[in-house]
Chain A
Amino acid sequence: MKLSEWMVKPTPQTEWIDKRGILFWLAVFFIELGAGAFFVGTIFKSIEAMLIGWLICGVLGGGIHVLYLGHPFRFWRMVSKPGSSWISRGLIFISVFLVLGLIYMILTQVGSSSPILMILADLFAFLSIVYAGFAMNYVNGIALWNTALLPVLYAVSGLWGGAGLALGIALASGNVSTVGISVEEWIRVLLISYVVLLIAYLISVRYTNPTGKFSVQEIVAGKFKALTWFVVVLLGLVVPVTVVLISLNAGLENMPAAVLYFTILCELLGDLTLRYLILKEGLYSPLIASSAYPSASGY
């Protein structure tokens, strides 16, 4: 972008998606996916889902998040302002979740699990899922993020992704008839919620201001339309909805495992792509009006 074009038309945020910013995108996805899988795992007593979720959240998500920092060895400083910073809160939520989750899993394995500990671990797992949504929602300069629906969408997508992962783990460990069927009931509800929320989110952003409208247009009909319609909608939504409808009639245990694995992969890919688009199309309003973007005067 030429200097003369900077901030005279909608300017995308780049720090959390371009170059090393890719790490932020991946970190948030893995933290929410892992915490979601742990959450679902505790509900359905699947130690495999808990453990894999915990590892994805802590090692992949947390690790990538720390790697993204300019000074990773100073990360401990990030807990110093939980009163106002969502990044501080997020680090605290994830750290507490990882500690409580580990203790809960150990106690479960030795046969002395505590329901209070499970509730606390799940609470912090849930807070870990929603933290990035709130961190982004706080940025009032970006209309696409500055909506109360974003944290809700992220919460549902984290739980949905986690449930999908838990289903995949149940399939792999041969627990379809016990864990798998219960998880699938969750997936149905979460899938419907996700679709409704996504539509409501895009519609609500469209009517916030011209930049919000522009962001939504770019996602739906702009340079990313192929990603939106093919990956997010077709693979990420149409395929899971179709498979859920088929399994409602045929029964989950009668569904071919390959189809279920493919559906879970599509679901995760769609979710990851949507998060990419939300970060990529996070646009700031111009500071001055220009002929290229005349409707958004900065004053």
Chain B
Amino acid sequence: MRLGMVIDRKRCIACYSCMISCKQSHALPPDMFWNRVLVSETGSYPTVTKEILPVICNHCKEAACVEVCPTGATTKREDGIVYVDADKCVGCRYCLVACPYQMRTYLSDNKKEYWPGQGLTELEKFGREVFYPLQEKTVVKCNFCIERMDKAKEDGLTIGIDREATPVCVNACPVKARTFGDLDDPNSNVSKLIKERKGHQLHHEYGTEPSVYYLD
């Protein structure tokens, strides 16, 4: 099994639902995004095109971050999810530098509040200390909602089909621009989309084999 995602750029409307739902479900501090929506313009008047690119950790098959991690904190699971074991991370940030997609973040301060100077609200405290505690001075990143995947396997749910077995950013997308599933299964929804719509990866020239594909 190799979990992966397909993002249809033609459908994406840059509503930022993926960013917000991810931020909310992982109780991320200010300035930290595991999901991002990049927006830019190409061309010049009168033929200007607005480019939208939602980005997320690519959970690469040949992940540079896994190779460079000196402690083995960043590892790749059998289902293809690249995750960080915070207890092993020393915070050297080599993985951050080595990732050509810059999808990792160093969590220097998990006490940073959304309302500066007023301390953490009860909701923020609950989120960061109980609901989704992250370890300070370590590197964090998207984990394809690993806890949902693990629960889904226990409960016998179908990954990418059942809502409880699908990352929150996929569920939150109002235009269904995101699809999640098993890339190794030729009959999965993601594999079919990639084949039919000629899905491609970001910066394939780096040889990292990203598990996130894009449809143009």
Contacts and interface: CB of A to CB of B under 8 A. Distances in A.
B20 interface: no
A78 B68 contact: no
B90 A138 contact: no
Given A71-B89, A288-B53, A3 B36 contact: yes
Interface in B85-102: 88-94, 96-102
B200 interface: yes
A298 B207 CA distance: 14
A85 B67 contact: yes
Contacts of B91: 69-71
A185 interface: no
B176 to A, nearest CB: 22
Given A77-B71, A77-B90, A81-B70, A288 B206 contact: no
A90 to B, nearest CB: 9
A285 B40 contact: no
B71 to A, nearest CB: 4
A8 B38 contact: yes
A287 B53 contact: yes
A178 interface: no
A13, A21, A74: most-surrounded residue (chain B CB, <10 A):
A74
A135 to B, nearest CB: 7
Nearest to B68: A85
A135, A139, A288: most-surrounded residue (chain B CB, <10 A):
A288
Interface stretch (A218-226, A260-268, A289-297): A289-297
B68 A86 contact: yes
Interface stretch (B41-49, B122-130, B167-175, B184-192): B41-49
B8 to A, nearest CB: 15
B55 interface: yes
Interface in B175-216: 200, 202-203, 206-207
Contacts of A288: 38, 40, 51, 53
A88 B95 CA distance: 13
Interface string B18-50: 000000000000000100101111111000100
Given A91-B70, A285-B203, A298-B203, A75 B90 contact: yes
Interface residues of B, number: 45
A85 B90 contact: no
B70 A85 contact: yes
B25 to A, nearest CB: 19
Contacts of A114: none
Contact of A141 (B71, B90, B100): B100
Nearest to A292: B40
A298 B70 contact: no
Contacts of B101: 7, 141, 287
A3 B69 CA distance: 27
23 contacts: A3-B33, A7-B38, A8-B40, A70-B90, A70-B106, A71-B89, A71-B91, A71-B138, A72-B90, A78-B70, A78-B90, A80-B71, A87-B92, A87-B94, A88-B70, A138-B98, A284-B102, A289-B51, A290-B41, A290-B42, A292-B40, A298-B202, A298-B203
Given A81-B71, A139-B100, 13 more contacts: A3-B33, A4-B40, A15-B93, A70-B106, A85-B70, A87-B92, A138-B98, A140-B64, A141-B100, A288-B40, A288-B51, A290-B41, A298-B202
Interface of B: 33, 36, 38-44, 48, 51, 53, 55, 64, 67-73, 88-94, 96-102, 106, 108, 136-138, 200, 202-203, 206-207
Interface of A: 3-8, 11, 13, 15-16, 21, 68-72, 74-75, 77-81, 84-88, 91, 135, 138-142, 282, 284-285, 287-292, 294, 298-299
